[in-house]
Chains A and B, each alone.
Chain A
Amino acid sequence: MSKFDERIKKELTSRTDDDVRALEEDIWNGINEELFERRTPEVKKRKRWVPVVAVIAAALVLAFTLQTEPGSALIKTVKDMFVPEKEIIQNLEGQDEHTNVTLNEGKDSEYVIYVDEERYKMVKGGDADVITTSEPLPDGYPEVSMEIRQFPTDKPEDLVKEIEEELKIDFPELRPMETVTEPVEGYWLHGLTESVWDGKVIDVYVMSNGKDGSFVITENYFLEAAEGHGARFTHMLQSFEIVD
């Protein structure tokens, strides 16, 4: 190391000595309080399979009731088997949060999804539905939205390759495509423009529509919002069900 290097090192060390002395214990106290002292008795976490069981149970009820005339009359649409509103417990930034979610029906009643309407709204469009923040974000913040679009004649395995190629242009460090079972079963693409607070993040899920086509769900948010909007989108997407 040259003398110049040594001087830079010495200077950076000496000029940060005071901060080390002043902050070391203080920071630990903050960490200790946040991680260990503030721990309340464990709130029983809702197991991830609970909603799945609920859907299966509802489907069984539907199957049995449809076998009878009164049952057919009672249940007009598949949507009827979902409760209009419910409370979910979602883990955000390490904390359990109770959130009320509302059932929303997608374009042409082809799917349902529970939306946290305290924070988001679903805007229905001609080709796609978009879940976005209830109030627009201030200037300077990147887009925050989750778009749900159906491609009736494109198979997921073909579509995901096309989308991957397109995303590589705007997201040079796009992660290799993965097959996932959560929050939906299908293909997952994840990209980030750069590691700064407002770096744009994209998550694209490509899944079968149950026939010959696909649903493409595109989440847009930014790096700082990964544990906020990103996590909330994931929770909402877990409730996505094709009903057509």
Chain B
Amino acid sequence: MEQHHWVQQIQSGDPVAFRKFYEAYANGAIRTASAITRNRELAKDAVQETFIRVFRQIGSYDPALPFDPWFYRILTNECLRLMDKETLLVKVEPANLEDNPTLAEESFDQLSNLYDVIQSLDNHHRIPLILKYVKGFSEKEIAGILNVNQNTLKSRLFKARKQLKLRLDLPGEEDVTR
């Protein structure tokens, strides 16, 4: 459905229409929030709050701009806000892959290892990867969502992929694409 239809539906305030919108967007939103927050409860709160904000703040959306990046900007900010809040409440040490010798011994074919490696990256590199691979946003869109320069974003994605390969002990692109 075209973005202006979603906007109209949300503006209508009709619960049935809003439910349809939710059904169309919930899957991607939950996956993204879950991967960003690495915590089911935080993801739940972030997604719920995002939909509520979208419903209430649809008036601040500029219809000249694409809807999905606007939606995901709210979601990403909400994830970060809740993560920061959680960090303030409980000082949790981030998972440090290098301190976990068992992970380094696992092979790349074990996909669970790849997820751990992705999640071991810092937020600057991890979140662009999640937005790129979960939702398939373009670099330009991700730069807009994260409010960073497009070149900065390109560099972060490049470094993120490089770090993944390094940590997975993969020699180069050729070895994984063949």
Q: Which residues of A contact B (CB under 8 A)?
A: 2-5, 7-16, 19-20, 22-24, 26-28, 30-32, 34-36, 93-94, 140, 173, 194-198, 223-224
Contact = CB atoms under 8 A, between A and B. Distances in A.
A23 B51 contact: no
A11 B43 contact: no
B112 A15 contact: yes
Mostly helix, strand, loop or mixed at chain A's interface? helix
Nearest to B27: A20
B44 A27 contact: yes
B27 A27 contact: no
A31 B48 CA distance: 6
A4 B80 CA distance: 27
24 contacts: A7-B114, A9-B134, A10-B111, A12-B130, A13-B31, A13-B134, A15-B112, A16-B134, A19-B34, A20-B31, A23-B40, A24-B26, A27-B48, A28-B22, A31-B22, A35-B52, A36-B15, A94-B56, A194-B147, A195-B77, A196-B81, A197-B80, A197-B81, A224-B81
B133 A8 contact: yes
* A8, A94, A195, A224 pick with most chain B CB within 10 angstroms: A8
Contacts of A224: 81, 85
B157 to A, nearest CB: 11
B176 A3 contact: yes
Contact of B129 (A8, A13, A196, A197): A8
B52 to A, nearest CB: 6
B27 A24 contact: yes
B18 interface: yes
Contacts of A194: 147
A32 B55 CA distance: 11
B2 interface: no
Nearest to A94: B56
Q: Which of A3, A20, A32, A140 has the most CB of B within 10 A?
A: A20
Given A8-B114, A11-B115, A11-B118, A27 B30 contact: yes
Interface of B: 15, 18-19, 22, 26-27, 30-31, 34-35, 40, 43-44, 47-48, 51-52, 55-56, 73, 77, 80-81, 84-85, 88, 111-112, 114-115, 118, 129-130, 133-134, 146-147, 161, 164-165, 173, 176-178
B84 A198 contact: yes
A27 B26 contact: yes
Nearest to A2: B177
Given A4-B173, A30-B48, 7 more contacts: A3-B176, A4-B176, A35-B55, A140-B88, A197-B84, A198-B84, A224-B85
A28 B26 contact: yes
B52 A8 contact: no
A27 B51 contact: yes
A94 B52 CA distance: 10
Given A24-B26, A195-B147, A197-B81, A12 B48 contact: no
- Sorted nearest first, the 9 A-B pairs with minimum C-beta distance are A197-B81, A16-B31, A19-B34, A4-B176, A2-B177, A9-B133, A197-B84, A16-B34, A30-B48
Nearest to A31: B51
A82 to B, nearest CB: 32
Contacts of B77: 195-197, 223
A7 B73 CA distance: 25
Given A5-B133, A34-B52, A196-B84, A23 B35 contact: no
Contacts of B34: 16, 19-20, 23
Contacts of B51: 27, 31
B89 to A, nearest CB: 11
A8 B128 CA distance: 13
